[in-house]
Structures are given as structure tokens and as C-alpha cells.
Chain A
């Protein structure tokens, strides 16, 4: 069987890539994409520990996490489309105010 460390290393690398994307990218859609990468890394951890401990709780948590990620990206894109309609940009440096 594949060692548990392999899955944890893969998850850590994906999480670090997601953090780098959130902190460096300027387009708000790329920030949303990077958040999805971080959620995927967390899901790998859930499923890996569930499989190696014979505990199905992790599978259920991963299923909830997938559903919440889908809802979150829908809400985020709706906000971004409204921002694009009102301010003509999705550049995060231009979106530094909460009312306009």
C-alpha cells in the first residue's frame, strides 16, 4: 500500500501553491481558483486520514467540503460579476473599498 506520507506531501504542495496564488495574483478570478486548490488539498488530507484510520467520518467531511466549495465559488463569481458591472474591473487593487 502507498505510504501515508506521499498523500500528505502532495496535499502540502497543493496547499502551498494555493497560498502563493492567493497572495500574489492580481486578478480576482485567479484568487478564487487558488482558493479551490487549497480546498482540494484539505480534501486529500480528509480522505487520506479516513482511509488509513478506517474511519468513514473523513469521507463525509470531504463530501460536505466539496458541496460547500461549489456553493462558495458560485457566490464569489456572482459578487465578481456585479463588481465588474459597477466598477469595470476585477483587479483586486482597484477593489479596495466596500461601498461605492
Chain B
């Protein structure tokens, strides 16, 4: 197993771990921040596939635009505070 393969497996593990953390965490604001790590991991995966421009666009659009938009959505909507889980 050469170095790039090992590096890819580490990045893929971080990406999948962040994606699972999005689903299992109780605080919705933490889910958005885990989502940031997941998007950055996918961007690095694009760079492994010789698509550096697309990885850059991925990080710019997803982390810079979509995550900020979702944070606005989280902060402007009402959570269900009574009954059930914290943000289920």
C-alpha cells in the first residue's frame, strides 16, 4: 500500500465519520459544523482524482455558501423544545 492510498483512506475515514456524526449528534448546530468537515473531505477526494479545480469549487461553494445558508436557516427557525430529543 503506497502513501497516497493510505492518505486517501484516512481522508475517507474522516469524511464518513463526519457524515455519521451529522446524523447522531443531538445539537443541530453541531451537525452543521460536522457537515463542514464532510464537505472538505469530499473536496480533498476530488483532488485525489486529478480534479483540483473542482475540489476548489466544492470547498468554495459548499463550505462558503451552503453551510452559511444552512446556519442562517438553523438560527432563524424554531426548534421543537418540548418532548422527544433535542432536535429530532
State the Cβ distance, A70 to closest chain B Cβ, in Å: 5
Q: How many A-B residue pairs have CB under 8 A?
A: 128
Interface size range of chain A in the complex = 35 or more
A14 to B63, CA, bound (A): 17
**B15 and A30 contacting across the interface, CB-CB below 8 Å:** no
Q: Mark A1-21, 1 if CB is under 8 A from B, else 0.
A: 110001100100110011011
Q: Which residues of B43-88 have CB atoms within 8 Å of chain A's CB atoms?
A: 45-46, 48-51, 54, 57-58, 61-62, 65-66, 69-70, 72-74, 76-80, 84, 87-88
**B19 and A30 contacting across the interface, CB-CB below 8 Å:** no
State the Cβ distance, B33 to closest chain A Cβ, in Å: 11
State which of A6, A21, A70 has its C-beta within 8 Å of the C-beta of B66.
A70
State the Cβ distance, A88 to closest chain B Cβ, in Å: 6
**A44 and B76 contacting across the interface, CB-CB below 8 Å:** no
Residues of A within 8 A of B (CB): 1-2, 6-7, 10, 13-14, 17-18, 20-21, 24-27, 29-30, 32-34, 36-37, 40, 43-44, 47-48, 50-51, 59, 62-63, 66-67, 69-70, 73-74, 77, 80-81, 84, 88-91
The 3 closest A-B pairs by CB, nearest first: A51-B49, A77-B73, A84-B77
A-B contact list, 5 entries, CB within 8 Å: A14-B16, A29-B70, A80-B77, A81-B77, A88-B78
